[in-house]
Structure 1
Amino acid sequence: MEWRPDRAAKKAVYKQIAEYIEEGISTGLFSPESVLPSERLLAKELGVNRSTVVAAYEELQSLGIVERKKGSGTRISTDIWGISHKRIPNWGRYMEDGSFLPNLPLVQRIRTENQKRHVINLSSGELAPGLLPREQFKTIMATIPFLDHLGYDHPQGNAALRTTIAEHVREYKNIHAAPSSILITSGAQQALHLIIQCLLKPGDSIAIEDPSYCYSLPVFQSAGLNTLLLPVDQHGINPDDVIALHKKHRIRMLFLNPDYQNPTGLKMSPARRKRILEISSEFGIPIIEDDPYSLTSFNGNVSDTLKSMDENGNVLYISSLSKIVASGLRIGWVIGPSNVIERLADAKQQVDFGHSIFPQWAANEFLKSSSFDEHIHMIRKELKERRDEIVTSFQRYLKDNTAYFIPEGGIHIWCRLTHPVNEQQLLEESMKRGVSFLPGSVFGSQKGYVRFTFGREETDVIGEGIARFADALAVCQKNDNV
């Protein structure tokens, strides 16, 4: 046998052997009438341990490709081709080999747990049902006009909505943008995907905050990017760190969340915003500014965004209605140079032929109505009450077990456990008690942290959620001390 497994490959040797045999069966290299080599013989021919061949044969057996009988050896399954010579695809291998990576198993598990009714959800980054403008949207949908056009809309999104967003960002964020420089996306996350797929290539180095929501997204790894980390302190990232990384790695793009950053809740200082823009201009590094939370500022003061300070067109600005109106609308947008927006729009059209006209129409009606401003004032007040409740609950139930920064906006609070415990065990113990949170490792390199979302649950259950978490933490600390 001339073929040999590649020991330098990332794929396990037993999987390489299983795939080789499966391909050999398909091509006729291994005859359906013959017995496959014995475990000992094949191991000797390939120069591997017998246990490796056993694992390969077990893999093929689990897929129904071979049959194994003690004393008779390993044979190709008698019904592998079926009556009409058809085979079932090895879907497991297809899923494993796909280039688009799945979410972390831990994140998948938490999302599954959150579907259970008894779980107090302190992990999902969205607004509570009571904070959604349901009555306003009932009124809007009851007055939906007869639509003359139900076909595909403009590749960049509905023209009326883009005009309204241009007015919205000028009024609320001092960003001056023409409708032609705006692309409507399915939330901010699609905007990130489009930017990564259209403007970067495998091997490019990009920099993100540490910790950061971006750290949790497999899309960077799927695209083959070299992801570099910029530590966050109480004033945001240090501009000097950007220079140091760029000199070493030639940063192609910088991803930032300057206002009520996810997960820390911190705001980047005005001085650092100014310096970051100077560095961007000096080295020609594009900045992707993700701004889902700035309008939630509890005191009503909205800081200057990087985009509003950008005089050279270096910033691509992403925002959405997900964190301030309703995540289910799936209305987000990107603002940038017109030629870049056209490139992103072309890619989006290839994926979905543009956004549905119905949520665009509803979002446009709500954004241009007086109800929007009333809604923003309401969620600022309600989110502050929830923030205060979770801080009070920390003081009541966790006492000296956590240290935390109290955010002045957003929906998240970032906590350091003063006595670190096993992260996986803490999550399991919390889920047993019916409360979910996100471990800090999901967001970056720092250990011993957790993120709670105070925007997802109603105020009266937040305290109970923290009490359950405190019970779980106590069990984990006791186990660590035994």
Structure 2
Amino acid sequence: MHFTLDRSAKTPLYKQIAAYIENGISTGNFSPDMPLPSERHLAKELQVNRSTVVAAYDELQSIGIVERKKGSGTHISTDIWGISDKRIPNWGRYVEDGSFLPNLPLVQKIRTETQNNEMINMASGELAADLFPAEQFYSIFKEKPFTEHLGYDHPQGNVRLRETISNHLYAYKGISIDAESILITSGAQQALHLIVQCLLKPGDAVAIEDPSYAYSLLLFKSAGLRPFLLKSSKNGIDPDDIVELHKKHRIRMVFINPDFQNPTGVQMPLSRRERILEISSEYGIPVVEDDPYSITAFDGNVAASLKRMDDNGNVLYISSLSKIVASGLRIGWIVGPKKVIQRLADAKQQIDFGHSIFPQWVANEFIGSPQFDEHIHKIRKQLEVRRKQLSKALIHFLGDQAEFLEPDGGIHLWCKLKDPVDEFQLLDESLKRGVAFVPGSIFGESKGFVRFTYGRSTPTDIWEGISRFSKALQHLRGK
């Protein structure tokens, strides 16, 4: 047998065996008139457990390639080609072989479990339903009929919305930019995907914060990039770490979230922002600034973004309405040099022929109205109330078992457990008790952390959620 298992590969051994046999059948190396190698023979030949070979044959049997008969061994299926000479695709293998990677199993589990309406959801990074501007939207629909053209819109997004966002960025964040330098996207997530797919190539090195939301995204790995970590502290990353990484790996792009960072909630000082821009200009490294939270600053003082201070066009700025208005509206945007925006717009047009006009119309009407400013004041106040409630609950139920920094904006709180337990067992136990959070390892290499989202739950649910969490924690420590 001229076949060797690759024991260093991520593909399980039984799948390698199944693929070898399937290929042998399709190429005629295995005769349909003779039984296939026995489980015992294959196991001895390949030096694996017999159960591994059994699993391989089970997979082939499940897709109709082989038949297994007690006493006579395993044979190529007599109906492998079907009555019309057609084979059933091995969809399982197609699903696994795609270049676009699936979410981590733990992330999938959290999303599945949080669909339960009885679950107190302190995991999902969004606003609670009572913080959505539902009444304001209703008044827009009632007072102003929708009369927009329902065909394809401009590849960069509706021009009126881009002009409104341009005014919004100047009024709230001091960013002076024209509509031609803006691309409307389906939230910030699509913006990140477009940047990665269009501006980088397989093998490129990128720098991301640790911990960070970017760490949880498999889009870098799907694109064949090499992500390197920038350790973060209470003041964010040390900019000079970018220089060290660049010298070793030739960093092509840096991804950072300077304001109320996800998951830590920290805000980067002005001096570090200025240093990042200096490094970007010195080495010609583009910076992607993800800014979903700065406008939520509880005191109303929005810090100077990197884009606001960017005199050279080195920063690609991403923001959205997902964390400040409604996640389901799916309105985000990228600000950058016009040639970059045109490139990204071309890619977006290939993917979805441009953004839907209806949510763009709603967003334009709302952002451009006095109701938007009223809404922002409301969520700043309400988020501060919820953050205070979460802090009180953690102190009350966990005491000196945990430590955390209180963010001054955003929707997340990063909590360190002083005597860590297995965070995956803790999640399982918490889910059983009806509360969800995100284990810290999803966001980086540090152990013993959890992220609680206070923007998604009411104050009452926050108190009850931490009560349930503490009981799950004590249960595991008791064991």
- Give TM-score, length-normalised by structure 1: 0.96
For 1:18-417, list aligned pairs within 5 A.
18-43=18-43, 50-145=50-145, 147=147, 149-417=149-417
Q: How far 1:68 moved relative to its partner?
A: 1.7
Name the SS of the counterpart of 1:416 in structure 2. Answer: strand
| Structure 2 equivalent of residue 450 of structure 1 | 450
Mapped to 1, the partners of 2:325 and 2:375 lie a distance apart of 8
In structure 2, distance between residues paired with 1:446 and 1:117: 31
Give the residue type in structure 1 aligned to 2:362. A
User: Which residue in 2 is equivalent to 1:419?
Assistant: 419
Matches within 5 A, 1:426-441: 426-441=426-441
Q: CA deviation at 1:142?
A: 2.5
1:392 is paired with a residue of what secondary structure? helix
Q: Which amino acid aligns with 2:258?
A: P
- In the TM superposition, residue 42 of structure 1 has moved relative to its aligned partner by 4.0
Residues in 1 aligned to 2:43 and 2:432: alpha-carbon distance in whole angstroms: 45
User: Counterpart of 1:245 in structure 2: which amino acid?
Assistant: L
**Cα offset, 1:33, TM superposition:** 3.5
Which whole-Å CA distance do the structure 1 matches of 2:389 and 2:43 have between them? 63
The CA distance in 2 between the partners of 1:268 and 1:302, in whole Å, is 12
Q: What are the Cα deviations for residues 273-299 of structure 1, in whole angstroms up to 9, with x where unaligned? A: 001100010011100000000010000
Change in CA separation of 1:265 and 1:38 when aligned onto 2, cut-off 3 Å: same
Offset of residue 144 of structure 1: 4.5
Report the Cα offset of residue 84 of structure 1: 2.4
Q: Write the deviation string for residues 12-53 of structure 1: whole angstroms up to 9, x where unpaired.
A: 333222112213323433333331122344456657665543
CA-to-partner distance for each residue in 1:142-198, whole Å, 9 max, x for gaps?
Answer: 344353521110000000000000110011101111100000000000000000000
Which of 75-84 and 257-266 deviates more? 75-84
- Name the amino acid aligned to 2:384: K
SS of residue in 1 equivalent to 2:273: helix
Structure 1 letter corresponding to 2:421: V
Distance in 2 (alpha carbons) for counterparts of 1:105 and 1:207: 24
Secondary structure class of the residue paired with 2:60: helix
Q: Answer yes or no: is the 8 Å Cα contact 2:63–2:88 preserved in 1.
A: no
d(CA) in 2 for partners of 1:474, 1:9: 39
Q: Measure how far apart 1:353 and its partner are.
A: 0.5
Local SS of the residue matching 1:140: helix
Question: Compared with structure 1, are the counterparts of its residues 60 and 379 closer, same or farther at alpha carbon in structure 2 (3 Å cutoff)?
Answer: same
Deviation at 1:331, TM superposition (A): 0.1
Gaps of 5+ in 1: none
CA 92–307 in structure 1, closer or farther in 2 if over 3 Å, else same? same
TM-score, structure 2 length as denominator? Answer: 0.97
Q: How far apart in 2 are the matches of 1:5 and 1:445?
A: 31
CA-CA distance at 1:388 after TM superposition: 0.7
Q: CA distance change for structure 1 residues 8 and 355 in 2, over 3 Å: closer, same or farther?
A: same
Cα deviation for residue 476 of structure 1 reads 1.1
Instruction: State the Cα distance separating 1:235 from its structure 2 match.
Output: 1.1
For 1:379 and 1:387, the matched residues in 2 are separated by 12
The number of aligned residues is 479
1:11 is matched with 11
- Residue deviations 1:434-464, cap 9 Å, x none? 0000000000010000000000011121100
CA RMSD in angstroms, aligned pairs only: 1.6
| Residue identity matched to 1:273 | R
Q: In structure 2, how many angstroms separate the alpha carbons of the residues matched to 1:246 and 1:42?
A: 49
Which deviates more, 147-156 or 201-210? 147-156
Query: How many angstroms apart in 2 are the aligned matches of 1:429 and 1:263?
Result: 22
Deviation string for 1:231-277 (max 9, x for gaps)? 11111100121111111111110000000000000000000000110
What secondary structure sits across from 2:252 in the alignment? strand
Whole-angstrom distance in 1 between the partners of 2:219 and 2:369: 36
For residues 472 and 148 of structure 2, what CA distance do their matches in structure 1 show?
Answer: 57
Relative distance call for 1:102 and 1:384 in structure 2 (3 A) is: same
Shift of 1:83: 2.4
| One-letter identity of the residue aligned with 2:288 | I
Equivalent residue letter for 1:81: W
For residues 135 and 281 of structure 1, what CA distance do their matches in structure 2 show? Answer: 46
- 1:65 Cα offset (Å): 1.9
Residue 311 of structure 1: how far off its partner (Å): 0.6
Structure 2 vs 1, CA of residues 148 and 295 (structure 1 numbering), >3 Å: closer, same or farther? Answer: closer
